[in-house]
Amino acid sequence: MKKRVVITGAAGFIGSHLSETLLDRGYDVIGIDNLLTGDTANIAHLVNRDFTFIKHDVTNYIYVEGQVDYVLHWASPASPIDYLELPIPTLKVGALGTHKALGLAKAKGATFVIASTSEVYGDPLEHPQKETYWGNVNPVGPRGVYDEAKRFAEAMTMAYHRYHGVNTKIVRIFNTYGPRMRLHDGRAVPAFMSQALRNEDVTVFGDGTQTRSFTYITDLVDGIIRLMLSDQNDPINIGNPRETTIEEIARTIIQMTGATSRIVYRPLPTDDPKIRQPDITRARTLLGWEPQVQLEEGLVKTIEYFRTKV
């Protein structure tokens, strides 16, 4: 029988790519999304395949008939704009949504994979960030609703693993980009691209020296699936160790789009991390994974997509 995968947040940026790739690899996929930040346009091309879509808020009980082999919990607002506008839904999906998704995995005897984030490291005092680092997070700051929701979700995931014996996986995702990101997502790459393609000023927060590590979506999905199929239960970073300043990526996007945009600087948001770079030793040694797509190659593909949206 074909393996069945339930993906929460399936209509989102990463969830839709996961759905598509798992279908390509011969799985049945059940996608669940309440469309708070997801978009059915991201999964419209999957309708005539072994794909079932259920519109549902996963902070409520999740019912799926029949066998389920894997539960991938990707439901959550994930950009600063989203979780600052939706602080309580962000906390609820990290807590109640994770609880319900784990309950489904436990009931079905399924493997559970949760989308965690590099934000669990906060504004890190360790560089690069290893999975053993506990983080430097402000629980009462505006970003705390996302950071702490994910940290709680990790704790609950490990509790279900230790207490109920659920086969759980935690993927800590670093900055990812690619087609199907929203124009007004608020994250660096879509913001810079949408501004540059309109020849508008490109807004850099802070002085632009803060760093990020950008992973192309196909590399991320490959890492997630390798983790899903592995025997690993401890958290694993999936990200590109190539560190880039925010100003550098802004200038690269302006150049690649042929824009006449200039860079303007705005104050850095509260608790915005100054540095971000994954240590991917675990992913390399335990999963045989490392990124394959160079930044410039991925940006070309992403710009092509954004040209159709601007």
What residues act catalytically?
Answer: 146
CB 82 within 8 A of CB 90: yes
Give residues with Cβ within 8 angstroms of 198, minimum separation 6. 310
CA-CA distance, 290 to 272, in Å (whole number)?
27
What SS3 state is found at 294? coil
Q: How far is the C-alpha of 282 from the C-alpha of 287, rounded, in Å?
A: 7
Give the side-chain half-sphere CA count within 13 A for 24: 11
The alpha carbons of the chain give a radius of gyration, in whole angstroms, of: 19
Helix (H, G, I), strand (E, B) or coil at 145: helix
